[in-house]
Every structure is written in C-alpha cells, then in structure tokens.
Structure 1
C-alpha cells in the first residue's frame, strides 16, 4: 500500500491530492510557463468627441509587419514575424525558435467612419484613429436657463 501525503490546507485539493501536485510541478516548469504566456499584445481603446483611438503595444516590429483591414464592421489587426538564425556548427542544449503571430479583431460601432481610418506605428505602438461620422459627433452647447 502506498501512502500519499495529504495537505488539507491546499485550496485545490481533490479526492487524489497527490495527483494535483504532480501536474502543478510539471506545468509549473519554466518550459511550460513560457508556452502558456499570451502572445497577444495589449490594447488601449479611448474615445474623444471627434474619433475613436486604438493603441496596440507591439515593440520590435516594423510597420511592414502589420496588416490592418476592415470588413463590414470588423477591424482586424494582424502580423506574422519569423526570425531565422543561421546556426551551423553549433550544438544546442535548448533552442527556441522566434516566431510570433497574432490577430486582434474589434467590432466597430455604427458611428465609425471606416473610409477615413488612419494608422501610424511609432516607438513600438501602433496607433489607429477612427473618425466618427458627422451625425455621431457630440455637439456641445450652452443652454440658457430662463
């Protein structure tokens, strides 16, 4: 008979407590942790009276690496980047290829003017300005109280 240590203080204990410990030790390895990290860049979305602003953090890329497209009311930003190093004559203990790709899609509101979208990539940030249609712009005026 095999005895398995049981730690009742663990929050994720189940009928087989040792079973979880095995998976935590294997999946907690740095090799697997690196693979589980999301490769989707962070995005900030803001709005002004005149337009919508999207800022996508993607350092290390070139503006030629991006593909920005609009189909109906869906804005898609994607990229695919491969880095191949010539490493003849080297012996590796561990080698990780540098290959990254992502696609981010956003549903545009009806008030967005898709014909006049502007994009610029500077300092590792892709900035998109999406103007609003004239009828959607907030009109501010002072109302006189009588």
Structure 2
C-alpha cells in the first residue's frame, strides 16, 4: 500500500475564520521556520493569566522577557534526529520556533510575574497592582 502525503496548505484554510486568523496572526517567519501555539488569556480580580499550549517542550526551552510593558514568550522544539528504526508515515506535531508578545496594561506588578510549565501548558500569572488604577473618564463634547 502506498501512502500519499497530503499537504493541507495546498487546499487552503478550512474556514474563513482560519484564513483571517492565519493572515493577521501568523508572520511569514512563523510559516517558514516555526509555528504559532494556541493561547488563552483570562482576567481575574487580582491577576491576568496567560496559558500557552506547547506540548513536548522542557522548561529550559522557553525564554520569557518583559521590557517596556511588553511581555515576550519564545521557544523552540527541535525534531528528533534521524532514527533508522522509525519510518514516519505522518508528522503532525509542530516543531520549530515560536514567538508571542503581549502588551500589558499599566496596572500590573512586574516583580510578581510567575511562570510554570506542566502537562504541556506554559502558564503565566501576572498579578495586578491595586495601587495603580487604570481608569479614565472621557467627557463627551
């Protein structure tokens, strides 16, 4: 039996939403050398929470930086070296580099940011600084 590899890129995105998501969120660099992991962002009364789905990484594969209110998360997952015992039929796991950045609001406690990695999820907790209120009234003219 011969298997023919099918590249879903040839047929275009599965939906219009996927097309626009890819168009606005994926850079050309990511398409060539990496991938774009899925991210969940939530807000609680005391913190912002970011969860990045990146299975198969180790903690040392990540780089997390905060500069001028911009949080940057990057990492790389390399494909295992050629293994003569394995004959891959299909590889759907994402490999390569990824980069995500988020502009954080002014009311955060930068020194209290914590990151954990467990069960393929990189979780960041960004506590709010209650002394810094981000509120403004806009008068209608």
Superposition TM-score, scaled by structure 2 size: 0.62
Match of 2:97 among 90, 98, 101: 101
The superposition leaves residues 79-133 of structure 1 with CA deviations (integer Å, 9 ceiling, x where unpaired) of 0122242346x999x999x741100000000001111100000011111000111
User: 1:55 and 1:109 mapped to 2: Cα distance?
Assistant: 17
Structure 1 alignment gaps of length 5 or more: 1-28, 138-146
Does the alignment pair 1:78 with 2:74? yes
Match of 1:67 among 63, 66, 78: 63
- Between 127-136 and 103-112, report the one with greater CA deviation: 127-136
User: 1:51 and 1:58 mapped to 2: Cα distance?
Assistant: 22
Match of 2:108 among 88, 112, 117: 112
RMSD across aligned C-alpha pairs, in angstroms?
3.3
Structure 2 alignment gaps of length 5 or more: 14-21, 23-34, 134-141
Largest Rg, 1 or 2:
1
